[in-house]
Amino acid sequence: MNSYELALQVRDCIQKTLTEWSSKIGQDINQETLEVLECSVAQAIEKINPEERDELKVSAKLFIVGSNSPSIRDAVDLACSALGVAQLDSVIIAPPPIEDGTNLSLAYLQPYWQELENLVQNKKIVAIGTSDLDKTLLEQLYLWAQVKPSSNQVNLASCCVMPPDLTAFAKQRDIQLLTHNDPKELLCEASFQEVLQDSIQNVKASEWIPLWLLRYSVIVKSRGIIKSKGYIMQAKRNAS
């Protein structure tokens, strides 16, 4: 699946969930005072049986849409609650795109990484990883961080072969290099508002801002197959 198809898949998932949820709720929504929507379809997420937990790996990739590092805790807490687990085995973070076009820097990453480190220390996450860091930035993060990155995702659409310097550094520091084909923005504000407008009657879509999108996978360790996967997201109402 290419990056365009992935973005369409996300839109489709959000639209189906919102449409089904709003059809059940009907008009019992006060649009003027509402600040948080808890939109879920009960049968869409299968909670993990505690007896099977040791046999499963629960991993997630977190796409930050709004520049708000504390959102990371909300995302992890909601994912754990939805899946019925105490902690996630791994979380990879994709920081929000930088609007002015400047390069990603360690200073920009630090608040997000610190939130992840807190969650590791509080035993909500076992291992944390990064996405799309070159060798220089990965090394800077590794040397600064208290909890070291265990993995780094590389987008093969932008580089067909793993850069040799990145490969050498990752091997030296025991960092797993993974590949992905996610777009830089899996869900943008305009796309979310368009889906919201189409899904819920009379909603003031322009007032709602997406904060984050989390994609999770539940993998059977012994067989390496995906048992379940899905998306969880959060948005806030920003009425003036």
Cα 40 to Cα 125, 127, 144, 168, distances in angstroms:
24, 27, 39, 44
For the beta carbon of residue 95, count every other beta carbon within 10 angstroms: 20
Burial of 4 from C-beta contacts in 10 A (0-12 / 13-18 / 19+): exposed
pLDDT at 152: 96
Structural domains in the chain plus CATH codes: 3-24+55-237 (3.20.20)
Cα 123 to Cα 58, 68, 127, 130, 165, distances in angstroms:
14, 22, 10, 19, 33
| pTM, 2 dp | 0.90
- What are the pLDDT digits (tens) for 39-87? 666 566 789 999 999 999 999 999 988 767 778 999 999 999 999 999 9
pLDDT at 14: 87
pLDDT at 227: 93
Q: Over pLDDT 90: what percentage of the chain?
A: 50
- What are the pLDDT digits (tens) for 151-189? 999 987 766 678 899 999 999 999 999 999 888 788 888
User: What CA dihedral angle connects 19, 20, 24 and 26, to 10 degrees?
Assistant: 10
